[in-house]
């Protein structure tokens, strides 16, 4: 049976991804920070800001079922605000989880994925395709993820490992609610309205459901997607189509 390792598995998107793979008959190994817990899969807590823990987590994940067929990087942090007010700690946390962890989880998983002809699916963002004003740190981290995807795809193609990224717009998750709480001021609904106002759908604009993103992740992990590598798949209602 095929095995997937999902980081950020306790979050709204991570949970949806775990559930989609479980529904498809895959064994799921779920990881997230030690104070969280994923509702689906074999659970391995790890601090993704600690490279030693990352390597131990991947090694443990591969021993549970004896193989690894896909890694999905769903762990992510958001921040926003003026760049001249950014702290070093803020930069380190966001870039550490969004980009550095994605790199080192992939690095540790490569030999195992080569053995199965497996794949890596990164969760990037529309901010990994285009810059978002007021979110330079997040945009830098996700832009790095998108280009890391391309670079790893080229490097690993001769070894039979595919690497792709999914670039969603805003997703209806606890992370988005926290984003509105922390950065939306006194009126989170006004914050949501501001986000939706950038979408080309106008009054029809809405946020993505986690399952919509999980479905694309699922597809990219399948043998039917064998010809797809090095791609950044936008799922953003056309938000980035005009760049």
Q: Which two three-digit tokens encode residue 74?
A: 């769903």
Report d(CA 152, CA 71) in Å as an integer: 13
Closest by CA to 153, choosing from 218, 99, 228, 223, is 228
**C-alpha pair distances (Å), 214 with each of 69, 104, 115, 211:** 17, 22, 25, 5
Residue 217 phi, psi dihedral angles, 5° rounding: -60, -45
Q: Which two three-digit tokens encode residue 60?
A: 């443990």
Report d(CA 207, CA 173) in Å as an integer: 10
What DSSP element (H or E) covers 116? helix 101-116
Q: Which DSSP symbol is given to 10? A: T
Q: Catalytic site residues? A: 138
**C-alpha pair distances (Å), 100 with each of 91, 122, 176, 215, 238:** 12, 12, 22, 25, 28
């Amino acid at each position: 049976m095929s095995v997937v390792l999902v980081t950020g598995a306790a979050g709204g998107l991570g949970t949806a991804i775990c559930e989609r793979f479980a529904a498809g008959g895959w064994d799921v190994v779920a990881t997230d920070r030690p104070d969280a817990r994923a509702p689906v899969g074999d659970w391995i807590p790890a601090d993704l800001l600690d490279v030693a823990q990352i390597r131990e987590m991947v090694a443990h994940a591969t021993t549970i079922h004896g193989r690894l067929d896909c890694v999905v990087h769903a762990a992510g942090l958001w921040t926003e605000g003026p760049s001249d007010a950014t702290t070093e700690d803020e930069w380190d946390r966001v870039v550490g989880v969004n980009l550095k962890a994605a790199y080192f989880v992939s690095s540790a998983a490569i030999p195992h994925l080569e053995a199965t002809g497996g794949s890596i699916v990164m969760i990037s963002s529309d901010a990994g395709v285009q810059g978002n004003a007021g979110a330079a740190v997040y945009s830098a981290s996700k832009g790095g993820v998108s280009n890391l995807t391309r670079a790893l795809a080229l490097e690993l193609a001769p070894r039979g490992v595919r690497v792709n990224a999914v670039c969603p717009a805003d997703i209806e998750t606890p992370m988005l609610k926290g984003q509105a709480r922390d950065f939306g001021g006194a009126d989170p609904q006004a914050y949501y309205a501001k986000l939706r106002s950038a979408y080309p759908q106008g009054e029809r604009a809405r946020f993505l459901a986690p399952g919509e993103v999980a479905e694309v992740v699922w597809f990219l992990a399948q043998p039917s997607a064998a010809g797809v590598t090095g791609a950044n798949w936008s799922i953003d209602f056309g938000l980035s189509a005009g760049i």
